[in-house]
A and B are shown apart, each in its own frame.
Chain A
Amino acid sequence: MSSDLILRVGTKLILPFILLFAIYVQLHGDYGPGGGFQAGVIVAAVVILIAITFGHNAAKRVAPRGLVECMVPMGVLIFAGTGVAGFFLGGNYLDYSVLSHDPIHGHHLGIFLVEIGVAVTVSGTMVALFYAFVERGR
C-alpha cells in the first residue's frame, strides 16, 4: 500500500476513466481503433494499478483470484462457443451469417461475441500472471 496521498487520490480519480476507456475500446472496436485484445489489456491495467497503489489485497477484493483464473478459459469457451453456435444453426464453424435472421446482423453479433471472448481471456490471463508473479515473490 502506497502511503503517498497524491498517488492514492490520483489513482482513484483516474480509475473510472481508464475503465470507461476500456469499455469504449471494446464496444466501439467495430467503428474505431480497438477491440477485445486492447480492451482486455486495459481492464487488466486497472486491476494492476489498484494492486500497485492500494496493495495486493485491495486488488484481490476487486478481482478475486478464483474469478480471474476462471476467466482465462472462459474467453476461449465464449469464442469457440460462438463457432459451435454457427455450427448448430446450419452454417460452418465460425460462420456468423446464420447467427441472426439477417446476415449483416449475424456478423455484427458474431464479432461482438468473439471480441468479448478475446477480452475475457486476455484480461484474465494478464491479471492472473500478475498475481502469480506477485505471490511468488513473497
Chain B
Amino acid sequence: METVINMALLTLLAVVTVAMVVQRSLLSVVILASIYSFLMASVMIVLDAVDVALTEASVGAAVSTVLLLATLHLTKTREDMPRHGRALPLLLSLAVGGMLVWGTLVLPPFGTANAPIHQHVAPRYINDVMAETGVPNIVTAVLADYRSFDTLGETTVIFIAGIGVMLLLGGLRRQSSEEGAPEDPS
C-alpha cells in the first residue's frame, strides 16, 4: 500500500515539475510550486518525517507562496522568451541530473538500518535522549538541545535575511519619502 501511495505521489511530483518548466505564466508557476510543496509534505508524512512535513506544508506551501505572489505583484507575471539557445542549458541539466542519478547508485538501499548515516550519532541520540533531556520528540531534542548552536545560527540567518530584504524593499522608500520632500522643488 505504501509503495502505491509513494508511486502516485512521485508521479504527481514529476507531472507538476514538468508543468512548471513548460508554463510561461509565472502566476501558474507559483501555484504549481505550492502544489509541489503540498505533495512533498505528503511524501514526508509517508516517510514518517512529520516534523519536516509540517515545515514543508507551512513554509513551502503557505508562506513562500504568499511571498512569491507578493513579488509577482511588484514585477510582471509573464516569463520572457529565452534570448539564448536552449541546447547548452539542456545539456547542463542532463549532465547534472545524470551525475545525481549516478550518485544514488552507490547509496545504501533505502531504509537500511546499517547505513552510515544511522551509525554515527543517531544511536546515541535514540538511547540517551530521555535520560539526558527528558524530551520524547528526538527531532526537537536534537534541534533545540544537542545542536542548539546550529539552530541559533539558523535563527540568525533568518534574522539577517529578513533585515536585508526589509532594507532593500522598505528602507529605500522610507528614506526617499523623508528626504524627497525638501528636494522636490529643485
Contact = CB atoms under 8 A, between A and B. Distances in A.
B23 interface: no
A104 B81 CA distance: 60
B132 A41 contact: no
B28 interface: no
A111 interface: yes
Given A107-B145, A114-B144, A29 B137 contact: yes
A80 B173 contact: no
Contacts of A125: 158-159, 161-162
B135 A30 contact: yes
B54 A132 contact: no
A136 B74 contact: yes
A33 B51 contact: yes
A60 interface: no
A128 interface: yes
B140 A29 contact: yes
A33 B140 CA distance: 8
Interface string A115-138: 101100110111011111111110
Contacts, number: 148
B67 A79 contact: no
Interface of A: 25, 29-38, 41-42, 44-45, 48, 52, 69, 72-73, 75-76, 79-80, 83, 94, 96, 103-104, 107-108, 110-111, 114-115, 117-118, 121-122, 124-126, 128-137
22 contacts: A25-B54, A29-B137, A32-B50, A34-B54, A34-B140, A35-B51, A36-B144, A38-B58, A42-B58, A44-B63, A76-B152, A80-B152, A96-B145, A114-B151, A114-B152, A125-B161, A128-B162, A129-B162, A132-B165, A133-B73, A133-B74, A134-B73
Given A25-B54, A44-B63, A114-B148, 16 more contacts: A33-B137, A35-B140, A35-B144, A36-B144, A41-B62, A72-B166, A76-B152, A79-B155, A94-B152, A107-B145, A114-B144, A114-B151, A121-B158, A128-B162, A130-B67, A136-B173
